[in-house]
Amino acid sequence: MTQGRKLLGHIALLVPPFGWLGVFYLGSLSVLLLSAFWQVDAMSGEIVRDWTLDNFRILFSDTTYSIIARRTTGIALLVTVTDIILAWPLAWVIARKVGPRLKLTLLVLVALPLWSSMLARIYAWRLILGHDGVLNWGLRLVGLPDQNVAFTNIALWIVFSYLWLPFMLMPMVAALERIPASLLDAAGDQGATPWQVFRTVVFPLAIPGMAAGSVFTFAVTQGDYVAPMLVGGAGSEFIGNVVYSNVGVSGNVPFAAAFSLVLLGMVAAYMLLARRFGAFDAQ
Amino acid sequence: MKAYGTLLLATCSAILTTQFSTAAHAQAPLSAIGKSEGDLNVVAWEGYADDAWVKPFEEKTGCKVHRKYVGSSDEMVALTRMGGGKGFDVVSASGDASLRLIFGKTVQPVNTALIPAFDDIMPELKAPGFNTVKDVHYGVSYEWGPNVLMWNTKDITTAPTSWSIIYDKAYAGVITVPDNPIQIADAALYLSHTKPELGITDPYELTQPQMDAVVALLKEQRALVKKYWALASDEVDLFKSGDAHVGAAWPYQANTLRAAGVPVQDTIPTEGATGWADSWMISAHAQHPNCAYLWINHVMTPKVQAQQALSFGETPANTKACAEMDALQPGSCKQYHADASPAYFSSIKFWKTPVRQCGNGQNTCLDYSAWQRAWQQVKQ
């Protein structure tokens, strides 16, 4: 009796989240999946529900879209590598070099930007990188020539690396904290140089942290369209921008859905890869 | 448990209801303007619902105006189609959007008997092909004007007279052009002068070989473009920050920048210009039809027509606006060609939706979806 009650209780607990996911998440995903195989009438803007692979044919035959997909992935990779390099020293200091009070202070400082709107922070970068912005003002002060960074892929790289750095840092701090001090001591006792300790002990044990961070830096960059719109220039289109303009501007939802599916596949493949490196292992 | 089940059911039925209700029937045009409904949802170009004439309208009619601004015709069409057309009452559609709205059954016929100013509209714009189909009026012509070449006079001291400047490598990195497939027509107009052998007669009627040539030119231009602007305010920012020195613009941006103290100048180059002719149209599913008619009557008055013309830098459709313009700013009637409109009118290549049928009766031209794809190829 009590067993049955307990089971019922468990089911009751599971229904709301699963109901929510089922209706709103899987439901909208399946609509997306379906509409990718439809088309839109250019004049009336109505969706024509005839099954067709035309959207995918255009996606894979027109080099425009493979260029955009490669740019999206390339910048996402670059941002991930940049954030890993930037996060290492700080993560090491926070995880192993400072006392609990300073550690808390540093972690709060890292998380602080996340409390303000992402849009405001991207606009701030526009003001920094713009032609008459803070960067060029500083360069002129020290007598260096102006730089035209605003509205380029370099601006995009800088802004993305800035935006996602905290998301790389946090899992790396967690991973580095978990390395037992005894392992480092043992490596030292056996005569390993600091570089050897890093290469053979610390780095391999930090891989799950980097993999978890890269889920944010890589996957989220791939799906972004706001930063390319605001700080990107001519030739900075991301997959997200093509999706956005097809939905919000051209009203071509089926084509947007088809490209979204391709993006979904790319992100899913990356998630599987990240899982192999322990990104999702709760420890 | 049961409660959650009910909740789920309710959600599902709510979704289904909205789905079905979008298929509701379109309304017939009003036969008389009744009492104000208290609200009016406006989808308009930036600068088309200015407080200068919105505030007096609200006080006079009691219709509270809710504005949504767009930066391109495509965005306008997409926005009006959202929510089954219930999200807006009136839209200021340009000639390249209006036919899509008519054929998509997004807008309803207008009863011109309820628009006193209709008789004063210039003859060319009373029943133009872009808002009147088979003698049924779907819109009231509002204002029209040219897309201009704008430059910063501090950075570019010799006034340019040709569109060639926005394809010139000497200005790499300081050029900005609209992020809009209809921008292809600007390049086509330029090529119709510089490469007559392509045989481009109408910049909106392009065959595949002609489009290939235009796309090639625009791809070369991409390397020189700092940023493609999506909203007029984007371009204003680019000129303010000094990131752009020259670009394709509307007179509105030039007026806004001059008011902000940025030294810009604008001109119609020797090749001529593309342009827009806008109409106010009423949603087929308008929730506030009385306010919609009251709005159209308000903005068609000579006074508002003149205010709009001066603030945006365009020409009013109402022929009686000339005196009001001169009263607001002496000489402006002549400056914006509101007095001698027919000749000037025919010199502008107005935006229209590209279709498969070319003007010469052949079906070899590219339709608008092909233009949208071509524009994506240009931007990459």
Q: Binning pLDDT at 50, 70 and 90, where does residue A173 land? A: very high
CA B371 to chain centroid: 17
- Residue A47 pairs in a beta bridge with A40
Chain A partners of B234 at a C-beta cutoff of 8 Å?
A: none
Among A45, A58, A247, beta carbon nearest to B100: A45
pLDDT of residue A19: 87
Average pLDDT for A96-104:
93
Give domain status of residue A30, yes or no.
Answer: no
pLDDT at position A39 is 87
Q: Is residue A2 part of a domain?
A: no
Does the pLDDT of residue B26 top 90, yes or no? Answer: no
Q: What is the mean pLDDT of residues A173-202?
A: 92
Domain membership flag for residue A51: no
* Predicted pLDDT at B16: 38
Residue A260 or B83, more confident: A260
Q: Is residue A8 part of a domain?
A: no
Cβ atoms B133, B311 nearer than 8 A = no
Q: How far is CA A174 from CA A87, A91, B16, B224, in A?
A: 12, 9, 46, 46
Which listed CATH number (3.20.20.150, 3.40.50.740, 3.40.190.10, 3.40.50.2020) goes with B146-275+353-379?
3.40.190.10
Q: In which band, very low, low, confident or very high, does the pLDDT at B21 lie, cut at 50, 70 and 90? A: very low
Angle between helices A253-276 and A27-35 (to 10 degrees): 120
pLDDT tens digits, residue range B89-103?
Answer: 999 999 989 988 998
pLDDT of residue A99: 92
Cβ contact B226:B240 at 8 Å: no
CA dihedral A222, A226, A231, A232 (to 10 degrees): 50
Rounded CA-CA distance B363/B355 in Å is: 9
In chain B, CATH 3.40.190.10 sits at 28-144+276-350, 146-275+353-379
In this predicted structure, the answer to whether residue A157 has a pLDDT above a threshold of 60 is: yes
Percent of chain B predicted with pLDDT > 90: 72
Token pair for B242 = 């000094």
8 A C-beta contact, residue A258 and residue A56? yes
Structural domain range at position A170: 63-276
Closest by Cβ to B77, choosing from A46, A62, A251: A251
pLDDT in tens, B107-159: 999 999 999 999 999 998 999 988 999 999 999 999 999 999 999 999 999 99
| d(C-alpha B294, C-alpha B36), whole Å | 8
Q: Which residues of B touch A (CB under 8 A)?
A: 1, 4-5, 8, 11-12, 72, 74-75, 77-79, 81, 99-100, 103-106, 173, 222-223, 225-228, 230, 241-243, 353, 355, 367-369, 372-373, 376-377, 379-380
Q: Chain B partners of A237 at a C-beta cutoff of 8 Å?
A: 379-380
Select from B13, B237, B241, B375 the residue whose CB has the most chain A CBs within 10 Å, as the one to mutate to test that interface: B241
Q: Is it the case that residue B33 has pLDDT exceeding 70?
A: yes
Q: Tell me how many domains chain A contains.
A: 1
Q: Check the CA dihedral A255-B208-B346-B175 and report its sign.
A: positive
Contact A229 B230 (CB under 8 A): yes
The torsion angle over the Cα atoms of residues A266, A269, A270 and A275, rounded to 10 degrees, is 160
What distance in Å separates the CA atoms of residue B208 and residue B205, rounded to the nearest whole number? 10
Search chain B and give the residue with CA nearest A39. Answer: B369
Residues of chain B with Cβ-Cβ distance to A8 below 8 Å are 1
User: Smallest CA–CA separation between B12 and chain A, in Å?
Assistant: 8
- Nearest-CA neighbor of B241 among A63, A8, A137? A137
pLDDT digits over B280-312, tens only?
Answer: 999 999 999 999 999 999 999 999 999 999 999
Q: Is A68 a residue whose pLDDT tops 50?
A: yes
**ipTM associated with this complex:** 0.80
Which residues of A lie inside 8 Å of B (Cβ-Cβ)? 8, 11-12, 15-16, 19, 23, 40, 42-46, 58, 62, 64, 67-68, 126, 130-133, 148, 150-151, 229, 232-235, 237, 242, 245, 247-252
Contacts of A31 (CB under 8 A, 6+ apart): none
Q: Residues A108-129: what's their mean pLDDT?
A: 92
Give the domain CATH number at A101.
1.10.3720.10
pTM, two decimal places: 0.82
- What CATH architecture applies to the domain B28-144+276-350? 3-Layer(aba) Sandwich (3.40)
Q: Is the pLDDT of residue A208 over 60?
A: yes
pLDDT-derived band at B342 (thresholds 50, 70, 90) equals confident
Percent of chain A with pLDDT over 70: 97
**What confidence score (pLDDT) does residue B339 get?**
79
pLDDT for position B27: 58
Phi, psi of B229 (to 5 degrees): -90, 140
Per-residue pLDDT reduced to its tens digit, B167-222 = 999 999 999 999 999 999 999 999 999 999 999 999 999 999 999 999 999 999 99
What confidence score (pLDDT) does residue B340 get? 66
A214 Cα to chain B: minimum distance (Å): 26
Residue B319 DSSP code: T
| A45 part of a folded domain | no
- Rounded CA gap, A168 and A157, in Å? 15
Residues of B in contact with A154 (CB under 8 A): none
Say whether B99 and A248 touch across the interface (CB within 8 A): no
- Strand (E) positions, B46-134? 64-70, 90-94, 107-108, 132-133
What are the pLDDT digits (tens) for B236-272? 999 999 999 999 999 999 999 999 999 999 999 999 9
Looking at the complex, report in whole angstroms how far the Cα of residue A14 sits from the nearest Cα belonging to chain B.
Answer: 10
Helix (H, G, I), strand (E, B) or coil at B378: helix
Residue A247, pLDDT score: 84
Q: Mean pLDDT, chain B, as a whole number?
A: 89
- B236 vs A148: CA distance, rounded Å: 18
**Hey, what amino acid is at B133?**
V
Element (H, E) at B153: none
Average pLDDT value for residue range B51-70: 95
pLDDT of residue A110: 93
For the residues of A162-193, what is the DSSP string, one character each?
A: HHHHHHHHHHHHHHHHTS-HHHHHHHHHTT--
Token output for B98: 């209006």
Residues of B in contact with A19 (CB under 8 A): 4, 8
Average pLDDT value for chain A: 90
Nearest by CB: A130 against B8, B243, B376: B243
